[in-house]
A and B are shown apart, each in its own frame.
Chain A
Amino acid sequence: NFTLDNEVHSSFIHRRLKSQERREMQREILSILGLPHRPRPHHHGKHNAAPMFMLDLYNAMSTEADEDGYSYPYKPVFTTQGPPIASLQDNNFLNDADMVMSFVNLVEHDKEFLPVRRHHREFRFDLSQIPEGEAVTAAEFRIYKDFIQERFDNETFRISVYQVLEEHSDRESDLFLLDSRVIWAAEEGWLVFDITATSNHWVLNPGRNLGLQLALESVDGESVNPRVAGLIGRNGPQSKQPFMVAFFKATEVHIRSVR
């Protein structure tokens, strides 16, 4: 295939570009892509959860580009075992999206390891890198739940996701409940929480972006360590790390600057 492709494409460029020409071409293509400079990602593991999820979206968009629309891949390719827990969402926001962006979790240590009464886990996402002129139409927080063998299959937990409103040094943070649901111990796959309103709030008020908190309770209302229930954290495999994904619609036409 490579030979065939090479033959087809070699009809135009017959020679290697000189380094100056190559730089010029790089600059022009970056301008077309609307980027001020070439990004230099620090950790760019392409097999991490977020890049793989995004690649799945890319493939869905590419393969069905000529059709009327594309469907949200509710069973991501990287979910190797068991059905995904996440419910299917409306496809429209994906069809309408001009841009989709995933955000890595910036919290280095799970609070669950600290001696606190209430087990919880914190997540933070830097939304300052969103290009100008893009409005959030939908946003999700995604966390993977592994199957836990030590637990009874019929055991359930209540999982709650909160937006952190204010932090205090002497007491627990002020929280706003975003979503709460019951999960089975035997379930396995990605849990998806709608955080559209919160994301919009963070974009408009970057100083109020204090992240999310996740807490787990047993049926008796006792606080449960998320790790015990199989929720993957920082120490888990890279392909199952929690992340955030947001869908955008362009609010203004991108005009390239005059050079």
Chain B
Amino acid sequence: SAQGGGKQRHGNRYKTAKGQEALRMANIAENSSGDQKQACKKHELYVSFRDLGWQDWIIAPEGYAAYYCMGECAFPLNSYMNATNHAIVQTLVHFINPETVPKPCCAPTQLHAISVLYFDDSSNVILKKYRNMVVRACGCH
């Protein structure tokens, strides 16, 4: 803000320095951590309509690769795929205040549709497009 007084500017400078120190410490802690957690990425989960015993009413597909997102959104986020700008800010705030502000979430950034072909109770056939059903890409939000 252009309206900030000298005292406030001093306060901001103090906060920035504190934040940078926190970041530096967190970075060291992250890198020296013994258990290297897996980074946020896409994992496959196959939903099998056949295994669910639904072959009598679902004509196609037999199942679909639904995918899910799993992994940690750890500092530095720039090295992770598809991290949003806000997620990077979220990480910084988390380092400053880890007790109250959570890390960014590993979640889908791109979703795809699938079509399912099935019989209804009256033996009519329905071909329905389900939007946002399959994860195409994961990222940190």
Residues of A within 8 A of B (CB): 8-9, 11-13, 22, 25-26, 29, 32-33, 38-44, 46, 50-51, 54-55, 57-58, 61-62, 65, 97-104, 126, 129
Contacts and interface: CB of A to CB of B under 8 A. Distances in A.
Contact of B123 (A12, A26, A33, A41): A41
A99 B121 contact: no
Interface string B17-48: 00000000000000000000000000111111
A104 B123 contact: yes
A13 B57 CA distance: 24
Contact of A129 (B43, B118, B120): B120
B59 A61 contact: no
A43 B120 CA distance: 10
A51 B129 contact: no
Given A40-B57, A55-B60, A61 B127 contact: yes
A33 B130 contact: yes
- Listed from nearest, the 9 A-B pairs whose CB atoms lie closest are A9-B46, A41-B119, A100-B127, A41-B123, A54-B125, A102-B125, A58-B117, A39-B57, A99-B128
Interface residues of B, number: 32
Contacts of B60: 55, 58
B93 interface: no
Interface in B98-141: 113, 115-130, 133
Candidate in A39, A51, A101 with the most chain B CB atoms within 10 angstroms: A39
12 contacts: A12-B43, A12-B46, A32-B130, A40-B57, A41-B57, A44-B119, A51-B119, A54-B117, A58-B115, A103-B124, A126-B124, A129-B124
Nearest to B63: A9
B121 to A, nearest CB: 5
Contacts of A38: 54, 57
Interface of B: 43-48, 52, 54, 56-57, 59-61, 65, 113, 115-130, 133
A101 B122 contact: no
B122 A129 contact: yes
A51 B125 CA distance: 6
Interface secondary structure of A, over-half rule? mixed
Contact of A51 (B59, B65, B128, B130): B59
A55 B60 CA distance: 8
A25 B127 CA distance: 22
B45 A55 contact: no
A101 B125 contact: yes
Contacts of A54: 59, 117, 125, 127
A42 B52 contact: no
Given A44-B56, A97-B129, A129 B121 contact: yes
Contacts of B48: 9
A108 to B, nearest CB: 14
Nearest to A61: B115
Contact of B120 (A39, A65, A100): A39
Nearest to B62: A5
A134 to B, nearest CB: 9
B96 to A, nearest CB: 36
B129 to A, nearest CB: 5
Contact of B52 (A22, A50, A62): A22
Given A22-B52, A38-B54, A41-B57, A101 B121 contact: no
Contacts of A104: 122-124
Contacts of B121: 39-42, 129
Contacts of A25: 52
Nearest to B124: A103
Contacts of B65: 9
B122 to A, nearest CB: 5
